[in-house]
């Protein structure tokens, strides 16, 4: 069964450092998403991406964050200067229709745990 893969599974970084989280979406999917989940809290939407541009972003997704699809397979989330409160699990998702569309199905990866010290 096709799956979304994320790397690294866990990253520890110092406050102020740049971090890039990587995702390989399902190959025929066109819509890509990043979500995060702070320990013990809800899964929060960060950003959606389609046709090489951001289609929607939340209040959380400020200037410290950026996304990119550098080639035909990877989808990355960059945090420019990490803060303690960026410590969370970051989930990538993909779908073949917007927001999951009528099929309703977003496929999520297993997540990248970011720990900022």
Partner 1 sequence: DAKTTQPPSMDCAEGRAANLPCNHSTISGNEYVYWYRQIHSQGPQYIIHGLKNNETNEMASLIITEDRKSSTLILPHATLRDTAVYYCIVHTGRRALTFGSGTRLQVQP
**Any contact of residue 25 with partner 1 (CB under 8 A)?**
no
**Any contact of residue 72 with partner 1 (CB under 8 A)?**
no
**CB 108, min distance to partner 1, A:** 3
End-to-end CA distance of the chain: give it in Å, rounded: 37
Rounded Cα–Cα distance for residues 68 and 49 (Å) = 9
**Any contact of residue 91 with partner 1 (CB under 8 A)?**
yes
**Any contact of residue 26 with partner 1 (CB under 8 A)?**
no
**Any contact of residue 21 with partner 1 (CB under 8 A)?**
no
Residue nearer to partner 1 on the CB measure, 20 or 60? 60
Tell me how crowded residue 3 is: count the other CB atoms within 10 A of its CB.
Answer: 13
Choose, by CB under 8 A, the member of 93, 94, 114, 116 that binds partner 1: 93
**Any contact of residue 100 with partner 1 (CB under 8 A)?**
yes
Rounded Cα–Cα distance for residues 10 and 58 (Å) = 24
Nearest to 67 by CA among 49, 85, 91: 49
Q: Which two tokens stand for residue 25?
A: 């979406």
User: Which residues make Cβ contacts (< 8 Å) with residue 100, sequence separation at least 6?
Assistant: 106
Could you tell me which stretch among 9-17, 63-71, 79-87, 88-96 binds partner 1 (CB under 8 A)? Answer: 88-96
Indicate the pairing of strand 10-13 with strand 112-116.
parallel
Q: Report the interface residues with partner 1, using CB under 8 A.
A: 4, 33, 35, 37, 42-45, 48, 56, 58, 89, 91, 93, 97-102, 104-111
């Amino acid at each position: 069964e096709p799956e979304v893969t994320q790397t690294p599974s866990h990253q520890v970084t110092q406050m102020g450092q740049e971090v890039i989280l990587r995702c390989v979406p399902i190959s025929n999917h066109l819509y890509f998403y990043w979500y995060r989940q702070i320990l013990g809290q809800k899964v929060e939407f960060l950003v959606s991406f389609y046709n090489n541009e951001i289609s929607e972003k939340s209040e959380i997704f400020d200037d410290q964050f950026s996304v990119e699809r550098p080639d035909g397979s990877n989808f990355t989330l960059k945090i420019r200067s990490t803060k303690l409160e960026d410590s969370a699990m970051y989930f990538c998702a993909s779908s073949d229709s917007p927001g999951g569309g009528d099929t309703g199905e977003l496929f999520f990866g297993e997540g990248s745990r970011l720990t900022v010290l």
